[in-house]
């Protein structure tokens, strides 16, 4: 009696088998014209709607009674857009040297929302980030490198340099009973900031290196006061923010200068002050009142990064509409096989059912990512140029940040497609899967960014729902030392870009795992 040996293939089912599944699923996708057309349409909509939005956006400014183009934002040493407006009392410094001062008080005024129509509501006080102290600045040009040590309204002593850098010193305020001594020392390109309660015992606050600092710089006293942000609840449940005028006055004395070039006449510059309605008179100017060795300096404005002009992601507004099409195509990529009963054939050809679903997810995710990447790479730079031509200047960002926004939004579309594939396999009904996907990703995002919900609810939605993934497109960080309305409606998210994207990935992975589990346990 002969023995029959069963045939066993020498090919392993692992990598080779999965590669074959990928080829099979890719073949399925590219042979259905409607699916291919849907992905192409999503990409075209991202480009088309982004450019349409950019073309329809315009801005202008007034110089007296005349409408003029708005100026481009001032750029800091790192290429970031900055606010550089303050009152500066200064002298030249050639080479190394230092300045020491005693700050005796900081007072000011804040304009609050009017209680009576037509009657200005101005109150006494200073905003938390009002600042006054001493500074070494490359020149009086806006955006020039600088380092400063200062007292603030509510954040104690700080050392700041080049607009984005901030180091905390000793907390507490300043008064005639409790003055603060400040010292700034230049040694080459290195600036050291110190503070003291009595002018004898000194504590280092921080050190800044200003590479390429010229031999002659400006050294002196300054004051600034950013606008007061008032957040008002809207009748429909959301919030709106407005920035109102403030000014701060610091009284300083015991001024000590050391270094070549110092000891002469003090020069004053109201850096960044704008003209008023007549086109000539300074608008909200600062001022200096001097009595002997005592300086009372009043300043308006801020020395900080800009966060409020708009950002590059506004050129990708078409991604939301494109996302809807991507979700529909991804769902149909699965449910079409159930509707036509072709899923039985697919599973017979590959009994390891979970790998089939993973292969579908990889194919639709890859196709979507490539299409989204191409669309974003076209829409963002062209849309930015159109906005600039329309007198709107999106805040500049680094090349790495721009690449993260372009690739991140493409990855957002891709992960959303994987999420939709998983829902299509779970529900096996196109309409239900599409509705759930849109309700999970898009609806929370729209509600959170449309200023129709309380800020706390918007914050919660963008932390715990798949809509958290939209944080990947945030290009401008929220700076702790800058007072602004950091809300989703203004383009700021409660989670960091990659953390928010990780939340969406977690939902997609969970949905895919549940879909694989159901596919393995249930008959088709």
CA angle centred on 122, ends 118 and 125, rounded to 5°: 165
Biggest alpha carbon distance in the chain? 122
Sign of CA dihedral 353, 354, 360, 366: negative
CA distance 457 to 439: 16
The structure tokens listed for 112 are 């609050």
- Per DSSP, 225 falls in state B
Residue ranges of the chain with pLDDT lower than 50?
1-16, 277-278, 280
* Chain centroid offset of residue 502 CA: 18
pTM: 0.86
Helices H / strands E in the chain, number of each: 9, 23
287 in Cβ contact with 211 (< 8 Å): no
Q: Does domain 74-305 have CATH number 1.10.730?
A: no
CA distance 132 to 153: 9
- Please state, in angstroms and as integers, the Cα–Cα distance from residue 84 to each residue in 70, 224, 235, following that order: 17, 10, 36
Name the 3-class secondary structure at 340. coil
Q: What is the pLDDT of residue 176?
A: 86
The full set of domain ranges for the chain reads 21-56+310-521, 74-305
Q: What is the pLDDT of residue 9?
A: 39
Please name the residue ranges forming H helices in 226-352: 319-339, 343-349
The structure tokens listed for 29 are 């996708």
Please choose, from the candidates 477, 483, 486, 484, the residue with its C-alpha nearest in 3D space to the C-alpha of residue 153. Answer: 483
pLDDT > 90 in the chain, percent: 66
């Amino acid at each position: 009696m002969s023995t029959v040996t069963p045939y066993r293939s020498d090919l392993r089912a692992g990598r080779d088998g999965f590669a074959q599944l990928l080829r099979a699923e890719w073949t399925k996708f590219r042979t259905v014209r409607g699916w291919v057309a849907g992905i192409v349409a999503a990409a075209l909509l991202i480009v088309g709607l982004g450019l349409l939005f950019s073309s329809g956006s315009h801005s202008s400014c007034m110089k007296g009674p005349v409408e003029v183009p708005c100026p481009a934002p001032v750029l800091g040493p790192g290429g970031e857009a900055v606010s550089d407006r303050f009152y500066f009392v200064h002298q030249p410094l050639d080479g190394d040297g230092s300045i020491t001062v005693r700050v005796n008080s900081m007072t000011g005024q804040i304009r609050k929302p009017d209680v009576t129509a037509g009657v200005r509501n101005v109150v006494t006080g200073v905003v938390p980030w009002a600042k006054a102290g001493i500074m070494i600045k490359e020149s009086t040009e806006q955006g020039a490198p600088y380092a400063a040590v200062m007292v603030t309204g509510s954040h104690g002593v700080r050392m700041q340099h080049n607009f984005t850098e901030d180091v905390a010193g000793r907390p507490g305020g300043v008064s005639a009973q409790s003055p603060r001594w400040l010292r700034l020392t230049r040694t080459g390109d290195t600036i050291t900031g110190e503070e003291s309660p009595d002018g004898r015992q000194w504590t280092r606050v921080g050190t800044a290196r200003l590479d390429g600092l010229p031999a002659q710089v400006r050294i002196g006293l300054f004051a600034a006061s950013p606008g007061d942000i008032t957040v008002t609840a809207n009748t429909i449940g959301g919030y709106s923010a407005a920035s109102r005028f403030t000014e701060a006055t610091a009284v300083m004395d015991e001024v000590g200068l050391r270094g070549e070039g110092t000891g002469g006449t003090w020069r004053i510059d109201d850096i960044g002050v704008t003209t008023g309605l007549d086109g000539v008179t300074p608008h909200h100017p600062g001022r200096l009142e001097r009595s002997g060795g005592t300086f009372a300096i009043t300043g308006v404005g801020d020395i900080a990064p800009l966060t409020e002009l708009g950002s590059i992601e506004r050129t990708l507004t078409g991604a939301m509409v494109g996302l809807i099409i991507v979700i529909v195509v991804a769902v149909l990529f699965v449910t079409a096989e159930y509707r036509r009963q072709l899923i039985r054939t697919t599973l017979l050809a590959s009994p390891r059912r979970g790998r089939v679903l993973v292969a579908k997810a990889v194919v639709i995710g890859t196709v979507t990512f490539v299409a989204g990447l191409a669309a974003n790479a076209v829409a963002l730079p062209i849309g930015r140029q159109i906005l600039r031509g329309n007198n709107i200047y999106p805040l500049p960002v680094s090349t790495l940040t721009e690449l993260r926004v372009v690739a991140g939004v493409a990855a957002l579309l891709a992960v959303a497609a994987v999420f939709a594939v998983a829902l299509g396999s779970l529900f096996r009904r196109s309409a239900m899967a599409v509705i759930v996907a849109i309700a999970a990703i898009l609806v929370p995002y729209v509600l959170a960014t449309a200023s129709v919900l309380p800020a706390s609810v918007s914050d919660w939605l963008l932390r715990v729902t798949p809509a958290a993934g939209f944080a990947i497109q945030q290009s401008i960080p929220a700076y702790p030392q800058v007072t602004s309305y950091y809300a989703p409606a203004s383009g700021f998210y409660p989670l960091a870009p990659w953390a928010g994207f990780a939340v969406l990935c977690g939902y997609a992975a969970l949905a895919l795992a549940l879909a694989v589990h159901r596919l393995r346990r249930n008959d088709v």
